[in-house]
Amino acid sequence: QKEVEQNSGPLSVPEGAIASLNCTYSDRGSQSFFWYRQYSGKSPELIMSIYSNGDKEDGRFTAQLNKASQYVSLLIRDSQPSDSATYLCAVKPRSGSARQLTFGSGTQLTVLP
Amino acid sequence: DTEVTQTPKHLVMGMTNKKSLKCEQHMGHRAMYWYKQKAKKPPELMFVYSYEKLSINESVPSRFSPECPNSSLLNLHLHALQPEDSALYLCASSQGGGPLTEEGYTFGSGTRLTVV
């Protein structure tokens, strides 16, 4: 089992719709969770971070965390063509671990005009 | 503009060359990282320099060697690379506050390396 799993997609949604991206992780002790957006040929850009169970909203983006079920999701409301990119889920391990931020394989999102 | 600066942006090198990638951050972060990313794959951690200690991913071949001249610089020295080492090399930094924070990593714009 991979440490961080995402649906690879591609995921296509029409402009204005809600895009839902999901991520599961295997280490139950993981503490912090991140969503990065990466445009083709560019470096990852941090768009959301979440630490506590529940929802965290920032503009059109909402991150949802459920530690009991070991999943984290990202909702993008009113999707725009400029949101078309690969979205990487990243997980920070538990305290005391020598491991660092671990990335999922990414979900490719296309927003159709 | 990113707060983590990487140079060069593009590099083509032969298998017998020696080259260096440079990374600099001015955010006062205590941890810096090198990642390698192949096309359509997630970034893979190569090295971590955190609180003056270097950690190495043991799967990284010795033809890659990191150097940290000071807390704001992290270089990656390349020697006798192979064509399969062609990839996007990403530098990142963080405050190094540990797992109990929502702090993520800030990435530089990357160096696109091609080994011929």
* pLDDT tens-place string over residues B15-43: 999 999 999 998 888 889 999 999 989 99
> What are the backbone dihedrals phi and psi of residue B22, each rounded to the nearest 5 degrees, phi first?
-115, 145
Contact yes or no for A43 and B102 at CB 8 A: no
> Structure tokens of A56?
């965290």
Q: What pLDDT, on a 0 to 100 scale, did the predictor assign at position A93? A: 75
> Cβ of B41 under 8 Å from any chain A Cβ?
yes
What whole-number distance in Å separates Cα of residue B34 and Cα of residue B25? 13
The chain B residue lying nearest A89, using CA atoms, is B42
Beta strands in chain A (DSSP E): 4-6, 11-14, 19-25, 32-38, 45-50, 54-58, 61-66, 71-76, 85-92, 102-103, 107-112
> Structure tokens of B104?
């993520």
Contact yes or no for B90 and A51 at CB 8 A: no
pLDDT at residue A1 greater than cutoff 80: no
> What are the backbone dihedrals phi and psi of residue B83, each rounded to the nearest 5 degrees, phi first?
-55, -30
Q: What pLDDT, on a 0 to 100 scale, did the predictor assign at position B98? A: 56
CA distances from B91 to A31, A102, B48 (A): 23, 15, 10
The phi-psi region of residue A17 (left if phi > 0; otherwise alpha if psi is between -120 and 50; otherwise beta) is beta
Distant-in-sequence, close-in-space partners of A39: CB < 8 Å, separation ≥ 6:
A85, A86
| Chain A partners within 8 Å of B104 (Cβ) | 32, 34, 36, 46, 49, 90, 101
Nearest 5°: CA angle at B33, between B43 and A40? 35
Given a contact cutoff of 8 angstroms between Cβ atoms, the answer to whether A47 and B102 are in contact is: no
pLDDT at residue B81 greater than cutoff 90: yes
Residue-wise pLDDT for A67-94, tens only, equals 999 999 999 999 999 999 999 999 987 7
**Bridge-partner residues for A81, per DSSP?**
none
Cis (ω within 30 of 0) for the bond into A10?
yes
Burial A3-30 (b: 16+ CB within 10 A, else e): ebbbbeeebebeeeeebbbbbbbebeeb
Number of Cβ pairs < 8 A linking chain A and chain B: 60
Q: How far is B105 from chain A (nearest CA, A)?
A: 7
Residue-wise pLDDT for A19-30, tens only, equals 999 999 998 888
Residue bearing tokens 């190495």: B56
Distant-in-sequence, close-in-space partners of A89: CB < 8 Å, separation ≥ 6:
A4, A6, A21, A23, A25, A33, A34, A35, A36, A72, A74, A103, A104, A106
What whole-number distance in Å separates Cα of residue A33 and Cα of residue A89? 7
- What number of residues does chain B have? 116
Residue-wise pLDDT for A23-60, tens only, equals 999 988 888 899 999 999 899 999 999 989 999 999 99
